[in-house]
Amino acid sequence: MQQIFTPISFGRLQLRNRIVMAPMTRRKAKKDGIPTPEIVEYYKRRAQGEVGLIISEGTGIDSFHAYDTLTVPRFENDDQLAGWEQVVNAIHAEGSAFAPQLWHTGRFADNPIGPSACKMPERGDGTLRPEVQEMSEHHFAQVLEAYINAAKNAEDIGCDAIEIHGAHGYLLDSFLSPVTNQRQDQYGGSLENRLRFPIEVVKAIRSAVAKDFPIIYRFSQWQLDDYNQLKFQNPQELQVWTDALKNAGVDILHVSTYDATAPGFPSVNDKTLCGWTKELSGLSCIAVGKVAVSLTFNNAYGEEQDEISSPQPAFDLVKNGEADLIAVGRSLIANPDWVKIVKRGDWKQLRSFNKDLLKDLI
């Protein structure tokens, strides 16, 4: 049996194998933000397919500024939590583990806030986005409280961990970028100042949940409106960030890249960004990007047809110590039984991904 299909534990988080379902927004809730029975079944199918850890789609932490569409499920009121509890129970009944991804869309929200005021580009459908409001003291307190409540609620309804969405240009990530964060106060300027608010969020959650309740933090170099952005120019800058996350109490880092096997700092060597993160932080790490597909995520919506590819290069990252867990995104949308198919050596039987598969929850 390949190591990737063997169990692993991180404190109280016990996984049947090292395959993770990457968080993927589907916008299939009703406007009340409650996960529907179809959403419960969608996640249950991936648990029946033997995924080790299922990370939910990004779920809005509040109804003020966190969501970008009302059909994104939220993680705030009792009815929404009761819906998520059904997801948790269905996944547990099949032997898999579950972590909700706690999401604040920040500048991309319907009612956007960010570190600095700015204008946003039009939406894909040509409609204008509202201007982003600079966060005031009131906003900082409100966002912090929403994160704390969401994390405590996740623990209360039996989730196995939480993931903080700190990637892709959304609220927490937008603090890290000197392009979107032009504040003059203690939250802007130097890297140490720019990472202050994300770290305050982690620390606040850490002291609100049990010591052994795992916190996963997802971060990226890139962001949605700047696919080439490099937040960390070199390993030294990355280390400042990973040290801060580690000291704040993060347990697992989820390194969001287009291609899990690509070099993190190509001018230095071939080590992946996940490999660097793991080495510099000493923490357990999840690698993600382009597993079992041929196109990178940012090119997946054009005319070019995706083809299946071998997941082995990603599995080798676990074998050679660059990653502990491997997350699969689009290929798990196309194949709820992904783990079973690949475990029996039949990856060539996987169904290829295309954007039409996003229309329904299969």
Ligand X SMILES: Cc1cc2nc3c(=O)[nH]c(=O)nc-3n(C[C@H](O)[C@H](O)[C@H](O)COP(=O)(O)O)c2cc1C
User: Which sequence positions are flagged as catalytic?
Assistant: 170
Which CB atom, from 135 or from 167, has the smaller least distance to ligand X? 167
Q: Is 216 in the site for ligand X (CB under 6 A)?
A: no
Which CB atom, from 293 or from 339, has the smaller least distance to ligand X? 293
Q: How far is the CB of 211 from ligand X (least distance, A)?
A: 26
**Measured in whole angstroms, how far is the alpha carbon of residue 100 from the centre of its chain?**
9
Which CB atom, from 168 or from 278, has the smaller least distance to ligand X? 168
Q: How far is the CB of 358 from ligand X (least distance, A)?
A: 6
User: Of these, 39, 199, 201, 293, which contacts ligand X (CB under 6 A)?
Assistant: 293
Applying CB under 6 A, the span of 7-15, 76-84, 134-142, 329-337 interacting with ligand X comes to 329-337
User: Of these, 8, 17, 18, 23, which contacts ligand X (CB under 6 A)?
Assistant: 23
Residue 218-257 contact track with ligand X, rule CB under 6 A, x = bound: x-------------------------------------x-
Q: How far is the CB of 138 from ligand X (least distance, A)?
A: 27
Q: Is 176 in the site for ligand X (CB under 6 A)?
A: no
Which CB atom, from 29 or from 293, has the smaller least distance to ligand X? 293
User: Of these, 4, 19, 22, 66, which contacts ligand X (CB under 6 A)?
Assistant: 22
Which CB atom, from 159 or from 328, has the smaller least distance to ligand X? 328
Applying CB under 6 A, the span of 23-31, 122-130, 182-190, 243-251 interacting with ligand X comes to 23-31
Q: Is 173 in the site for ligand X (CB under 6 A)?
A: no
Q: How far is the CB of 219 from ligand X (least distance, A)?
A: 10
User: Of these, 106, 115, 214, 289, which contacts ligand X (CB under 6 A)?
Assistant: 289
